[in-house]
Structure 1
């Protein structure tokens, strides 16, 4: 770890486990070395009037896609997009991120080629990045071509996570069944849409724009991909085995049935990402799995999907362990603030949703809490009693990644 000078933050209110406490914090050489310890030889930073907590750990964020493709079909250089994304992460208090990198059979933004480009760029840019940029290999299970890349990426210096996704089956679902209640994807009686239906062709339009192709061409492509369905379970087993071999954290995405959660738990995926109903979330809780929901859901007071569970309700019921930025990095702090304002819990009891719990789920034992010996990943927040909080400073392993001084 890079040597850094000793720093003492004085006057801030620290988020310490289950309590808030006004105390000084000392860190040096990237680690927290004392709480209310000595000032000797240290640079003293005034934290009065601010909240100091462990920096955020984002288990799933795909907002980087908007830097790569700010408009449908309009691509920007990968290095520039990732450097800008990194700056946004630091300014939102996120010290560790897992970019949800979709690996799909679709051409364009979510293709294997783009996945490799992002992986190679992050590896190349590592010395210039402000925060720790990792990958969540958001693998579409019908994309067999991704297996070799997944194998390569798992050998990288920063072990990625693997998320099992199946948006192919979701796209093929008959419109009479909601996504939230769709059957287990490999059920023999899975209800399939009529691909000649004009509504289905129109539905494929968004994917087609992203891939720079016509809706008709996209329909033909998904029809050919759908023929792979009998082979998918075996390929899932292969990818899960690759993950288990390097102890990579694994997640299943948008579980709609207990059978789905059971299946992926059996493959070693102990994180349920965005379960789509209470029934599945309760089953995950009873099995001891980690449960992830989107911070935008918390910030907005409900999911953009409308019929998915409300995060506030899930937190109250003990059915949410982790908040992910999902598609909007500022939502981690804003969502936390909304939960506090709505009386769901106190700051200190809710903060683990964005730091301590994701560190446990991802096996990052060196960070996620303010404690002596832990990595000095810290976020200083200006949080008025009746107002919107904002990040003023972010430290990553004791290094200043972001700092802002207000005009007032």
Structure 2
């Protein structure tokens, strides 16, 4: 690859934004940054548009929809993985942690049926250099699921595993402190009758009492032995945040209350919320709004969760709200902070010596339009 010069760009670094030039070396690393316009022949004129780091996504369930695009439909694995990857880079994401569930709350779920195929297809695409984004695995461990430890032990040594989260989606706690929201969600999703729903809720509570504590302890210990970053999930209380601190977790995913988010932030965990929460203006589960955490200064990371394009949209929208987040600080929530929280020190910021993972973004009214994306200096979109 020849040296690349991107000039006349509104360069967004972790601390400031300026009109300038970024030079990418033949090794795909950022070689120079200046607050001037280059006149070198062959320099790419960014037309005054934004140049931001490639986004770092820690939690997306997006792959699942390509393996099962409709209930009862299983799509060929290679096509599913490549199409998912294409949507990821088109959203400005250059590093993605594909979040795969170990265990589920409903028997016979397609999540578990597709698990082996999804992991195999991701690994093959990585080995064959098919992917345009960099893919890692995020294992979402449903600790109330009876077989979660067996699934976890089979995958914890997989070379793509770089993040593990522990979660318990049983009713009456965490995401579903309000049991009526649990009833609304699962009855709507699976079409349970009232009688079936009562039996389902009872079964989930029993499973949580039987398995959650011991499974959580075992998974946390194994992650520390393997030096895998850990994330808590749906923390609702200060006690939950204290538990995450005691378990030496680095990320607090989707806290459901201001109190839990503040406590996690004070403990040094990076607080992660859904980018759709910002775009839509609130939580679809009826929990705390991400913008409220931003107003309290405790929103550290945004994740696309179920809608990849939401990350760039949310970062730009966050910078326009009255919350103390200017554009450099807002962009950090989708680049620098998520990268650092999982130990990826070579990306996430436009800085000399870091990977040239970059996105050229044009502001079209209220919408950040992604024009081009580079992964380590190679244009992938």
Q: Same fold (TM over 0.5)?
A: yes
Deviation at 1:67, TM superposition (A): 1.8
Return the alpha-carbon distance in structure 1 between the equivalents of residues 295 and 233 of structure 2. 22
Deviations 1:269-306 (A, max 9, x none): 23111110111111112211110111111111212223
Q: Which residue of 2 aligns with 1:185?
A: none
Deviation at 1:322, TM superposition (A): 0.3
Q: Which residue of 2 aligns with 1:115?
A: 115
Q: Which residue of 1 aligns with 2:359?
A: 379
- 2:259 corresponds to which of 279, 301, 310: 279
Return the alpha-carbon distance in structure 1 between the equivalents of residues 122 and 40 of structure 2. 36
Q: Which residue of 2 aligns with 1:161?
A: 163
Deviation at 1:240, TM superposition (A): 1.0
| Inter-CA distance 42–93: structure 2 relative to 1 (3 Å threshold) | farther
Determine helix, strand or coil for the equivalent of 1:366. Answer: coil
Q: Which residue of 2 aligns with 1:50?
A: 49
Deviation at 1:60, TM superposition (A): 1.0
Return the alpha-carbon distance in structure 2 between the equivalents of residues 324 and 202 of structure 1. 24
Return the alpha-carbon distance in structure 2 between the equivalents of residues 132 and 24 of structure 1. 25
| Farther-moved stretch of structure 1 (310-319 vs 102-111) | 102-111
| Inter-CA distance 281–200: structure 2 relative to 1 (3 Å threshold) | closer
The answer on whether the counterparts of 1:201 and 1:216 sit within 8 Å (CA) in structure 2 is: no
Q: Which residue of 2 aligns with 1:399?
A: 378
Return the alpha-carbon distance in structure 2 between the equivalents of residues 152 and 297 of structure 1. 34
Return the alpha-carbon distance in structure 1 between the equivalents of residues 248 and 258 of structure 2. 22
Q: Which residue of 2 aligns with 1:196?
A: none
1:114-193 aligned within 5 A: 114-126=114-126, 127-167=129-169, 169-170=170-171, 173=172, 179=175, 181=177
Deviation at 1:266, TM superposition (A): 2.1
The answer on whether the counterparts of 1:180 and 1:256 sit within 8 Å (CA) in structure 2 is: no
Deviation at 1:227, TM superposition (A): 4.3
Deviation at 1:66, TM superposition (A): 2.1
Return the alpha-carbon distance in structure 2 between the equivalents of residues 204 and 40 of structure 1. 60
Deviations 1:61-108 (A, max 9, x none): 112222222223333222222211100010110001112211214423
Q: How many corresponding residue pairs?
A: 373
Structure 2: gaps (5+ residues): none
Structure 1: gaps (5+ residues): 183-191, 194-198, 403-408
User: Please, what is the CA RMSD of the aligned residues?
Assistant: 3.0
Deviations 1:167-224 (A, max 9, x none): 1x22xx3xxx895646xxxxxxxxx99xxxxx99986555647xxx999889877766
| Inter-CA distance 141–215: structure 2 relative to 1 (3 Å threshold) | farther
1:219-368 aligned within 5 A: 227-228=206-207, 229-306=209-286, 308-344=287-323, 345-368=325-348
TM-score, normalised to structure 2's length? 0.88
TM-score, normalised to structure 1's length? 0.83
Deviations 1:353-401 (A, max 9, x none): 11011011111111010111101111110114x4311111111111111
